[in-house]
Amino acid sequence: MKHDFHQRRENRIAGAEEKASKNEAESDRLYQLSQKMADAIPMGQPILIGHHSEKSDRRYRDKISGAMKRSVEANNKAAYYAEKADSIKNNDAIFSDDPEAVEQLEEKLNSLKEMQGFMKAANNCIRKDDKTAFLKLKYGNDEMWEELIHDKFGGKGFAHFTLTNNSANIRRIEKRLLALKKQGQTVAVDAVINGVRILENRAANRLQLFFNGKPLQEVITQLKQHGFRWCRSEEAWQRHISNNALYWSRIIAGMVKA
C-alpha cells in the first residue's frame, strides 16, 4: 500500500466528518420517530393501571424513551466526530512520518534558538535599563518593554522558567532530528522470526508484524499489552517505530511456533 502522509491525513478528516454526518442524520431520524410515536398517545393520557392495555402501553412508551435515548447518543457521537475532524485540521504538530518532518523540525529548531537568544539579550538590556539597545533587537518594541520592566514571577524580564522550558524544547527537537537523520542512514528492518515477518515501514512510520493466519490469543494479548494494534488495511499488527517496538516485536515473534 502506498503511504502518503497528507493523503492519510485528509482521509482521517473525511472519515471523521462522514461519521459525524451519519450520526447526525441518525439522531434526527430517531428524534422524529420518537415524536411521531409520542403523538399517537392522547395528550395527558396516563397509563391505565390494571387495564388490559397496561403492558402494551408500557412497552410502547419504553420504545419512545429508547428511541429518544438513542437519538441523544447519536447526537453525542456526531459532536465527538465533528470535534475530532476539527482537531485533525488544526493540529500543527510535526509527525515523524511526514516526508517534510526534518525540514519542519529544523525550521522550528532555528526559531526556538532565535527566541532563546532574543530572551537572553532582552533580559540583559532590562538589567542594564537600556531601552535603546532593547528596541534594536529583532522583536523589541515599546509595548513589550513596558510589560517586561514590571515585576512578574518574582522579577523583571522573561521569567527563568520561560528560558528553561524553551531550552528543554530545543534539546527535545535536536534529539528528534538526530534520531530521524540517523534512521535515514540505516537499513530498514525486514526480518522473519518463526514465520513472523517484522517490517520497519518507514513510509508509514510503523513497525509491522505479519503473521501466517490469526495469532493465538496469548500472542494477541502480548501484542495489545505492548502497543500493537491490528490494521485491517495493512493486514498487520503495528505501532509507531521505536527501539522499544522493535524489542517487543522480536520477543513476541519468538513466542510463535515455527
Per the domain annotation, does 95 fall within a domain?
Answer: no
Decide which of 184, 211, 230 is a domain's last residue.
184
The better pLDDT of the pair 152, 79 is held by: 79
Do 199 and 238 reside in the same domain of the chain? yes
Q: Which of 74-78, 118-122, 176-180 has the highest mean pLDDT?
A: 118-122
Per the domain annotation, does 96 fall within a domain?
Answer: no
Do 163 and 196 reside in the same domain of the chain? no
SS (H, E, C) 126-175: HHCCCHHHHHCCCCCCHHHHHHHCCCECCECCCCHHHHHHHHHHHHHHHH
Strand pairing category for 196-201 and 206-210: antiparallel
Give the model's pLDDT for residue 2: 46
Give the model's pLDDT for residue 95: 65
Per the domain annotation, does 198 fall within a domain?
Answer: yes
Report the percentage of the chain scoring pLDDT > 70.
Answer: 94
Domain that holds residue 25: 5-90
Least confident of 19-28, 152-161, 213-222: 152-161
Give the model's pLDDT for residue 40: 85
Decide which of 90, 109, 136 is a domain's last residue.
90
Do 177 and 200 reside in the same domain of the chain? no
pLDDT at 172 over 80: yes
Mean pLDDT of all residues in 120-135: 94
Mean pLDDT of all residues in 146-166: 87
Give the model's pLDDT for residue 233: 85
Give the model's pLDDT for residue 1: 44
Confidence band, pLDDT 50/70/90 cuts, at residue 251: very high
Distance from C-alpha of 31 to C-alpha of 64, rounded to nearest angstrom:
9
Confidence band, pLDDT 50/70/90 cuts, at residue 101: confident
Residue 249 class from Cβ within 10 Å (0-12 exposed, 13-18 middle, 19+ buried)? buried
Of 213, 222, 231, the closest CA to residue 254 belongs to 222
Number of domains in the chain: 3
**CA of 19: how far to CAs of 28, 74, 133, 192, in Å?**
14, 10, 56, 38
Decide which of 184, 200, 229 is a domain's last residue.
184
Per the domain annotation, does 123 fall within a domain?
Answer: yes
Confidence band, pLDDT 50/70/90 cuts, at residue 41: confident
pLDDT at 168 over 90: yes
Backbone angles phi, psi at 13, to 5 degrees: -65, -50
The DSSP 8-state label assigned to residue 42 in this structure reads: P
Do 24 and 56 reside in the same domain of the chain? yes
Do 214 and 165 reside in the same domain of the chain? no
Do 194 and 177 reside in the same domain of the chain? no
The better pLDDT of the pair 23, 44 is held by: 23
Report the percentage of the chain scoring pLDDT > 90.
Answer: 48
Confidence band, pLDDT 50/70/90 cuts, at residue 177: confident
Do 46 and 78 reside in the same domain of the chain? yes
